[in-house]
Structure 1
Amino acid sequence: MTEADPGHIPSEETLRQQETQETIKSLDLTLRVGEMLLSNGAGAADVAATMDSILRHLSLRGADVDVTYTALTVSHQTSPDEPTLVRRRTVQQRDVDYEDLTSVDHLVTDLLLGRINRDEARSELAQITSSGHARPRWAVMLGWGALALGISMLLGGDPYVMIIAVISGIGLDRLLRVLSLARLPSIYQQMAGGLMATVLAIVVAATPIPLNPSVVVSASIIVLLAGLGLIGAAQDALTGFYLTASARILEVLLSTVGIVIGVSGGLAIGKVIGVQLFLDPGAAGLSDLPVMLLGAALCATAFGYVSYAPIRSLIPIGLIAAVGAVLSYVLQDQGFGRPWAAAVAAVAIGVVAYGVAGRVRVPPLVIVVSGITPFLPGLAIYRALTLFTEGDSAGLVDLATAGAVAIALASGAILGEYIAQPLRREARKMESRLSGPRLVGPLRLQTLRRRAKEEREEREEREE
């Protein structure tokens, strides 16, 4: 007897099983895309909207999507008489790779525009997830050194400071890599990183080398702060995903506390052995404008590189960070506080990032996160810890300033996206209603199709 024999398996039952299998494949693709986006730093709102777009495109309009910081769930019920199909994936790996993020973003766009079908999308996604990183580890290690070099330039370090900062950046990458392979929780990794950077500065300060170790420690703090997920936390809080926002904020706080404990422990060790790191406000302040611009551009570009951002996006990232540095410099020179200067710079970066991201074909998140890296509050945290070790309660002011700068950077960048996206849509006569700025994932399907049509018409005009 064959499978289609009505005496054994009714044809209706066979069709139902086939429909169930097709639905499971669609749910599985949606979950895997969502996992890739969330693990690479995308906000919960962007992940949920992208997953919903995929499900609608695959004719599963009644499907429900639930996104938390550690798990993704999709469910679908074909009819009230049928059981609900539920699929869930746990997000365990959080190794940010902007090359993968960009590839998945392009895959989703191709799927929604009908350039590839679901099975082709599944095959392509499997290739993306199994391909590994695009850059060798030694190049990434040098990238972290370049990031620390850029920060030391931004903070006015001399050549000796720059050399030590590069060594510190490379050393931090090696240390965190080893601790990560040992599966040590993030807070302990940050503690070890802060302690190592401070002890290195103490050792150098005990030598006759004429340098300001406070700049080295400040640069190391920013290296440790880079990529902690401030943007994702702010986006989740502003778009109503409060549970996920709370989890991201707690992770950021724990990592920052680890840095504070490590640096303060290093300062205490220095005090015990008689080598105290004093804060030199002049040398640790903002340097001359040309050097500062170069430092900001190098820092942002290096962070994009170590986060595996596509090569084509690195120069725009550096230029945008330099523009933000000019705004921050001018505002602080005019007497504005550091939080306000950081906020204005972040808003400018958010506004410019949206248009630039479309031209270099990367998600805006790649440019925004990299662009704000030079403005992270490493100096304020170091000032606070230095004052605390001296028994000065004024360190609370600097610690509050560091928190204000971090919030200003994240919320300012998101505000820039709120400003940029409606302006561009209005200019192109697209729909004016906006549920929120998209840092990852395509816009509404109708908007996506209109954009593809416009691009096709432009190519035809150029060919004619």
Structure 2
Amino acid sequence: MDDLRTLHRTLDLCLKVGEVLLSSGAGAADVVATMRALARSLGIRHTQVDVTFTSLAMSVQQGPDEAPVVQIRQVTQREIDYEDLTRVDHLVRDVVAGKTDLEEARTQLAQIVSSGHARPRWAATVGWGLMCGGVGLQLGGSPVVVLVAMLAAICIDRLQLLMTRRRLPGFYQQVAGGVVATVLAALGTRLAEPWVHLNASLVVTANIIMLLAGIGFMGAIQDALSGFFVTGGARILEAVLATAGIIAGVSGGLSLCATVGLEVPRLTLPRFDLVGVSAVGVGGAIAAAAFAFASYAPLRTLLPVGILGGAALAATEIMDEAGFGRTWSVGVSAFVIGLFGYTVGRQFRVPPLVVVVSAVVPLLPGLSIYRGLFLLGEEGGQQAAQGLLAMVTAASIAIALASGVILGEYVAQPVMREARRVEARLAGPRLVGVTRVRRHRRRRDPESR
């Protein structure tokens, strides 16, 4: 009876850990490998784990003549909290290293998931505002553009928070965010017109990138590449719906502005010289660090995340200007982010997922999406064709981002001989969780050999 009770409590701990990882954007391969490593460290072998994006199932059969023990847990959508993710990652490592037993691990996990965020919610709102300000700077916007983008981001975040409390689906939240971004940008242009020129298109683009930042492209592509097609398909569908909500909101906002006479001017971008590339790098660094701050990442990660994101964006602009093409430029930069993200994550004791997701935010294809929407709204077959090409480019950039980061993780994460039993079952690169299970040396009897 005591053994059965311990088994149930062990499976429950593994499922709760898996729920935190999955809801934080971790790939299914990471979730499965972490749950199995955790169970193995607590003395449970030969476990089976099933991940279907909205639910987790874990089972174990102790003998061929015994009925399997199965536990299922529903995965609830949670606000991204990289502080909780980091603390759970540390907890798993302590259990695997033998520093924490089952009961202590259950107590610590309960404290982690019930203690709330490390920073107040208004601080996250300020972080979203700073992120959009950084994006406005990286697009070459004036101080007025940066200020209006920040104010629009704050309004969008508070509106989406209110809609979340009303339990409205994420699609409608994205639609509302797109409408608010466009209307506020157009209204700001009209109010600032007598004194200063305001490029409303840059404001809308900055807010599109903010809305894209919360979409789990990384986990979706990782699941598809690592063989978890059911979970990957569900995540891709969620990402497509969220992106469609942004497109619907922005296009609806453009139509509304045109109806009431608040026209949004055509998108114009400055030519990037050496000084411009420096401003792009600074803006990208601010955007990446601010996203990490808004997602409750530990403060010690903000500087390395900002440096990595800013350097990657500057390199992307240089390669793009040199004629490599936007998609390949983004893919190469994403590969570098994945390559260094693993090292930075280990150095600052956070899961690499926290580093790479934050660092790729400045590279999100908000500019291509807005350009495509603007061209599709104009009359003429040539403009429509260019708009469709811009939307296809946006999709290719998103795929290049995720696949480049994952390839970088493949290269950066070597297969270690002492982890062969765990890593042999791993279907993809590890963005969250342990990479090996340390087994304590015990005297084994002859029957156990």
Structure 2 CA distance, aligned partners of 1:324 and 1:420? 17
1:211 aligns with 2:195: no
* Structure 2 segments unaligned to the other structure (5+ residues): 441-449
Shift of 1:21: 0.9
1:407 aligns with 2:436: no
1:303 aligns with 2:291: yes
Deviations along 1:220-239, one digit per CA (max 9) or x if unpaired, are 10010102101101110111
SS in 2 for 1:75: strand
Identity of aligned residues (%): 48
Partner in structure 2 of residue 231 of structure 1: 218
1:372 aligns with 2:360: yes
Shift of 1:96: 1.1
Q: 1:196 aligns with which of 156, 173, 180?
A: 180
Partner in structure 2 of residue 145 of structure 1: 129
Q: 1:69 aligns with which of 53, 65, 75?
A: 53
Tell me, yes or no, if the aligned pair for 1:234 and 1:245 is still in contact at 8 Å.
yes
Q: 1:60 aligns with which of 44, 58, 65?
A: 44
Q: 1:440 aligns with which of 427, 432, 435?
A: 432
Shift of 1:322: 1.6
Structure 2 CA distance, aligned partners of 1:151 and 1:322? 11
Tell me, yes or no, if the aligned pair for 1:157 and 1:284 is still in contact at 8 Å.
no
Structure 2 CA distance, aligned partners of 1:338 and 1:186? 29
Deviations along 1:345-373, one digit per CA (max 9) or x if unpaired, are 10000000111111100000000000000
SS in 2 for 1:366: helix
Structure 2 CA distance, aligned partners of 1:251 and 1:348? 27
Structure 2 CA distance, aligned partners of 1:128 and 1:140? 19
**Farther off after superposition, 294-303 or 265-274:** 265-274
SS in 2 for 1:206: helix
Tell me, yes or no, if the aligned pair for 1:297 and 1:321 is still in contact at 8 Å.
yes
Q: 1:357 aligns with which of 339, 345, 359?
A: 345
Shift of 1:62: 2.3
Alignment of 1:264-283 (within 5 A): 264-283=251-270
1:418 aligns with 2:405: no
Structure 2 CA distance, aligned partners of 1:363 and 1:282? 36
Tell me, yes or no, if the aligned pair for 2:171 and 2:245 is still in contact at 8 Å.
yes
Deviations along 1:24-67, one digit per CA (max 9) or x if unpaired, are 11111111111111111111000000011112122221221111
Q: Judging changes above 3 Å, is the alpha-carbon distance between structure 1 residues 79 and 341 closer, same or farther for their aligned structure 2 residues?
A: same
State the TM-score, normalized to the length of structure 1. 0.89
Tell me, yes or no, if the aligned pair for 2:217 and 2:402 is still in contact at 8 Å.
yes
Q: 2:301 aligns with which of 313, 318, 342?
A: 313
1:397 aligns with 2:397: no
Higher-Rg member (1/2): 1
1:348 aligns with 2:336: yes
What is the letter of the counterpart of residue 148 of structure 2?
I
What is the letter of the counterpart of residue 84 of structure 1?
P
1:325 aligns with 2:313: yes
Tell me, yes or no, if the aligned pair for 2:84 and 2:112 is still in contact at 8 Å.
yes
SS in 2 for 1:308: coil
What is the letter of the counterpart of residue 398 of structure 1?
A
Partner in structure 2 of residue 179 of structure 1: 163
1:220 aligns with 2:207: yes
Q: Judging changes above 3 Å, is the alpha-carbon distance between structure 1 residues 430 and 64 closer, same or farther for their aligned structure 2 residues?
A: closer
Structure 1 CA distance, aligned partners of 2:111 and 2:419? 35
Structure 2 CA distance, aligned partners of 1:414 and 1:374? 17
Structure 1 CA distance, aligned partners of 2:65 and 2:18? 29
Tell me, yes or no, if the aligned pair for 1:377 and 1:402 is still in contact at 8 Å.
yes
Alignment of 1:65-214 (within 5 A): 65-207=49-191, 208=193, 209-214=196-201
Shift of 1:205: 2.3
Partner in structure 2 of residue 7 of structure 1: none
Structure 2 CA distance, aligned partners of 1:193 and 1:323? 29
Structure 2 CA distance, aligned partners of 1:183 and 1:19? 41
Shift of 1:284: 9.0
* Structure 1 segments unaligned to the other structure (5+ residues): 1-16, 450-464
What is the letter of the counterpart of residue 415 of structure 1?
L
SS in 2 for 1:445: coil
**Farther off after superposition, 73-82 or 222-231:** 73-82
What is the letter of the counterpart of residue 87 of structure 1?
Q
Deviations along 1:270-319, one digit per CA (max 9) or x if unpaired, are 22223321323334979801211110000000000011111111111001
Structure 2 CA distance, aligned partners of 1:411 and 1:124? 35
Structure 2 CA distance, aligned partners of 1:285 and 1:180? 39
Structure 1 CA distance, aligned partners of 2:97 and 2:349? 16
Structure 1 CA distance, aligned partners of 2:58 and 2:14? 8
SS in 2 for 1:288: helix
Give the superposed CA RMSD: 1.9
Tell me, yes or no, if the aligned pair for 1:72 and 1:91 is still in contact at 8 Å.
yes
